[in-house]
Structure 1
C-alpha cells in the first residue's frame, strides 16, 4: 500500500507545516479526582492513569498516513513541527509544552490511517504539578493564560451527555470473525506451531456493540479509569480503551516497557483460594513459556540501543478487575548517538512494534501467518497509542482492551490471545471474551 500524507490546521487546511505557538503555565493543584474532572467531552483526547496524564481539547494540526512508511512520515512531520514551533514552556517536564496524541495501525497493510493530533488545549497532571498548555496556529491569535483558561472553561461547560441504558436494545453482535471461525483459526494456528515454523502466534477477533442511543465516550472513559486504575486509559480520534501494556516510555535517556504475556480469567477463579493466580500463572509451563518468548523478543531488540538494561528474571502477577497477567517491567539506559542525542519514543516504537506479545515469535513470520489466519484488518488494535513531546519523550502503550467508535451507536471491540502448542480453542475463546469485559462493562453490556 502506498503511503499517504495529510496535514490539517483547522478550517484552512494546507499541505504545509503549520507554524505553531505554544504556551505552558503551571496551574493550582487539582482535586482528589485528578484528570477525571476534565474527562467530560466525547471529543477529548485522553491519556491517563491514576489521576495523572493529560486531556486534550480541540485541534490545531493533524498528520495522517497509511502504508509501511507511516512511522517514518510521522517522525518527519513531527520533527518539522517541533523545529518551526515557538514553544514557551518553563516547566520542562516530560509531557509539558507542545505535545501530540498518536494512534498507529497495527499493520502496514491496514486501511486505518495512523495519526498524530495536536490539541489546542492540554490540561496535565503529574506527581509534581498541574499545568495547562495552549497552542495556536493563527499568528494573530492571542496567546495568554487568560485566553487559555477562558476557552477551557467554556469547553468544560459544554459537556457531553451520558448514555441512556435501554434494557434489551443494546446488544453485542459478531464482528468480522465469528466464534466458530476464531476457534478454527486457533486450531490452525496450533497446527502451524507444531510444524516448528513458529513458537507462538497471537490471534485476534472482534465483536460489535450496537447501542440504541449514542455512545457516551467520556462516560466510558471515566468508567475505565475508575475500574482499571493500573491501566492507561486512552482516547485518540475514536480509538478508546484502557491498556495494561506499555510498549515504550521514554524520559530523557531512560526507556521503559511493561510486557504482558500469560492470562488468567478472574471470573472462573475458585473462591477462597488466595494462591490460585500465582499457582496457575507462575507455576504453569505454558504461561511461563509464552511470557519468556515476549521478554526475549523485547530485550533482543532493545539490547543494541542500550548501554545498560534491567530485565528481571522472574515476572510478577498483575491483578486487574477482569484478569490476572504475568507481567515484567523492563528498564534501559539508551546509548547516545555521535551527536549526543538518544532515540526518541517514535524511533523506539517503530523498532519494537509489533511485539511478540501481540504478534508472535518469531515476529516477522508470525505476522505473515496471522494475516492469513485472522481474516480481518486489525486497524489500530494492538498498535501504538499515546503521546509524544518535542524533546523525544513520550508514552506509547499498546492499544488493547478497547475498541473503535465507528458510528454514534456502534463500537467495534477487539481482543487477542497468545497461541502456543498447548493452546485449547475453547479456552482461548473464553479468554478473548474476558479481555473484552472492560469495554463491555463500561458500555453497560
Structure 2
C-alpha cells in the first residue's frame, strides 16, 4: 500500500498560493471546564476528551468525496492544500498549525459525502498547553495575534441558546422496527453458524422528533461531561461521544482503543463490584467477540510498525450507560522502503472498517450488512476526527452518535456484534443501552413500554 509521508504533508517554505495560518500560545483555561467554555455554537467542530482537545469555528476550505477511493482522494487534496500554504506556528505540537476536521462514510458504496473541512479559528488544549489558530485564504489578511483574537471574539459573540424539553418531543422508529431488527439478528446468526463469517455487526436507527430546534452545543456539553472518558465529536451535523479510538498518531507513535463486548448498567445488581468482570470477562461469547476485533486491528496495523504492544487480557471500561471489554494498542510506526511514514489518515484508510463495526471477514460482513440492515449508515461507524499538517491526528469511530438531519429531526444509530451465541432479544436491548447517551443528551426520556418508544 502506498502511504503519504509526514514530510510530503509539510507545507513548502516560502509559498503562499492558498491557505495561510498563524498559531500562538494562549493563557491557561479554567481547569474545571476546559474547552467546554468554547462549545457555545451549534455549528462548531469539536474533538474533546477530559476538557482537552480542539474546538473550531467557521470554514476556510472544504473537500467532499464519495466512493471506495474516498480516503486516497482526501489525502491528495490535503497534500495539495498544504503544498501552497503559508504557516506560522509558534508551538509545533500535534493539532497546532493548519488542521482539517474530517468525517467519512462507513461504506465505500454510500452516496453520503465524506469530507475534510479546514476551519477558520481553532482553540486547542493538550497537556497544559493552550493555543489559538487563525486560518484564512485571503492573501491580504493580517496574520497577527490581534487578528486571531478578533476572529475568535466574533464567533463567541453569538452563543447558541440552550433548549428546554418540549411537549412535542418524541422518539420514533427508524428504518427497521424492533421486530424487524430481531429478525435481522436471527438471520445474521444463521450466516455465522453456517460458517460464512465469524462476526457480523448489525445496526439500526431511531429518530428524535423535536418540538423546537436542537441545541447541538448543549448536547455536546452534556455528552462531554457525562462521558469524559470518551471522545466527544462534532463535524458538520455528525455529533456524538465515542468510546472507541480507531487510530491516534502523534510523532510517529500510533495508538488505538478497541471495544467489543458490552454489558448494560441499567439493571446491574447493587453491591456487587465484581459483576461486570464476572459477566464480561467470564463470558466466552464476549471474549470471542473481543478477540476478533483485536486480531482485526493488530493484523492490519502490523505492516506499518516496528513494534506493537497491547494488553494481554482486555480490561473493563466503565461508562455511565454500559461496561465494555476494552484493549489499548500502542505501535511505533516505521518508514517504508521510500522512507515514508504513514500519516493518521493513511492508517485510517488501512484500518477501516474494523471487525468492531463491520465483522470478519469484512467483505462478507459488508455485503450482509447491506442485505440485512436496510438502512444507509452514512457517517455512522465511519472515521471521524482531525489531521494536521505533520500527519498527526486522532480518528475515532463515529459511535454513540447521531446525525442532525433538520433543526427538529435527529437520527440516532446503534449497532451490535453478532456472533454464534447472539440472542436477538439481548442484542435489541443492547442497542437501547447504546442509544441512551444521545437520548439523554437530547433531553428525551428513555425507552418506555414494550416498544421502547414514547
Instruction: Judge same fold: TM > 0.5, yes or no.
Output: yes
Q: Name the SS of the counterpart of 1:293 in structure 2.
A: helix
Matches within 5 A, 1:67-78: 67-78=67-78
Q: Which residue of 1 aligns with 2:438?
A: 439
SS class of match (1:80): helix
Query: Distance in 2 between the 1:318 and 1:18 partners?
Result: 47
8 A Cα contact 2:28 2:128, kept in partner: no
Show the counterpart of 1:14: none
Measured after TM superposition, the shift of residue 18 of structure 1 is: 6.6
Deviations 1:305-363 (A, max 9, x none): 11100022200000000000000000111111234331001110011000000000111
Aligned residue in 2 for 1:183: 182
Q: Is the 8 A contact 1:66 1:110 kept in 2?
A: yes
Bigger CA drift: 257-266 or 341-350? Answer: 341-350
TM-score of the aligned structures, taking structure 2 as reference length? 0.93
Deviates more, 1:286-295 or 1:369-378: 369-378
Q: CA deviation at 1:128?
A: 3.3
Which TM-score applies when normalising by structure 1?
0.95
Distance 1:71 1:133 in 2: 25
| Alignment size in residue pairs | 428
Paired residues of 1:18 and 1:61 also in contact (CA < 8 A): no
Q: Distance in 2 between matches of 1:444 and 1:318?
A: 25
What are the ranges of 5 or more consecutive residues in structure 1 without an aligned counterpart? 1-16
| Counterpart in the other structure of 2:6 | none
Q: For the residues of structure 1 that align with 2:165 and 2:292, how far apart are their CA atoms?
A: 43
Aligned to 1:163: 163
Q: Is the 8 A contact 1:299 1:311 kept in 2?
A: no
Match of 1:201 in 2: 200
4+ runs deviating over 4 angstroms: none
* Secondary structure at 2:68 match in 1: coil
Give the whole-Å Cα distance in 2 for the aligned partners of 1:19 and 1:81. Answer: 7
Question: C-alpha distance in 2, partners of 1:69/1:141?
Answer: 35
Distance apart, 1:255 and its partner CA: 0.7
Alignment partner, residue 250 of structure 2: 251
SS for the counterpart of 1:432 is helix
CA deviation after TM superposition for structure 1 residue 431, in Å: 0.2
Query: How far apart are 1:227 and its partner, in Å?
Result: 0.2
Quote the Cα distance in structure 2 between the aligned partners of 1:383 and 1:18. 32
Equivalent residues in 2 for 1:113-132 (5 A)? 113-132=113-132
2:335 equivalent to 1:336: yes
Matched, 1:412 2:411: yes
3-state SS in 2 of match to 1:267: coil
Distance 1:18 1:419 in 2: 50
**Residue 240 (structure 1) aligned with residue 239 (structure 2):** yes
* Equivalent position of 1:224 in the other structure: 223
Quote the Cα distance in structure 1 between the aligned partners of 2:338 and 2:408.
51
- 3-state SS in 1 of match to 2:232: strand
Counterpart of 2:422 in structure 1 is: 423
Kindly indicate whether the alpha-carbon contact (under 8 Å) linking 1:102 and 1:386 is maintained by their aligned counterparts in 2: yes
- Residues 101 and 388 in structure 1, CA contact (< 8 A), matched pair in contact too: yes
Q: Could you tell me how far apart the structure 2 residues matched to 1:256 and 1:154 are?
A: 36
Unaligned 5+ runs, structure 2: 1-15, 445-454
- What pairs with 1:83-94 in structure 2 (closer than 5 Å)? 83-94=83-94
Asked if 1:352 corresponds to 2:351, the answer is yes
Checking the alignment, whether the CA contact within 8 Å between 2:21 and 2:133 is kept in structure 1 is: yes
Go from structure 1 to structure 2 and tell me whether the alpha carbon gap of 1:385 and 1:18 turns closer, same or farther (over 3 Å shift).
farther
> 1:380-391 alignment to 2 at 5 Å?
380-391=379-390
Instruction: Give distance in 1, aligned partners of 2:318 and 2:46.
Output: 23
Q: Structure 1: how far apart are the matches of 2:74 and 2:60? A: 16
Q: Deviations over 1:226-260 (max 9, x none)?
A: 00000000000000000000000001211110000
**Partner-residue secondary structure (3-state), 2:150:** helix
Q: Secondary structure at the match of 2:266?
A: helix
CA-to-aligned-CA distance 1:135-155 (integer Å, 9 cap, x gap): 110101121110111121121
| CA deviation vs aligned residue, 1:14-44 (integer Å, no higher than 9, x gap) | xxx9701100000001112110000000010
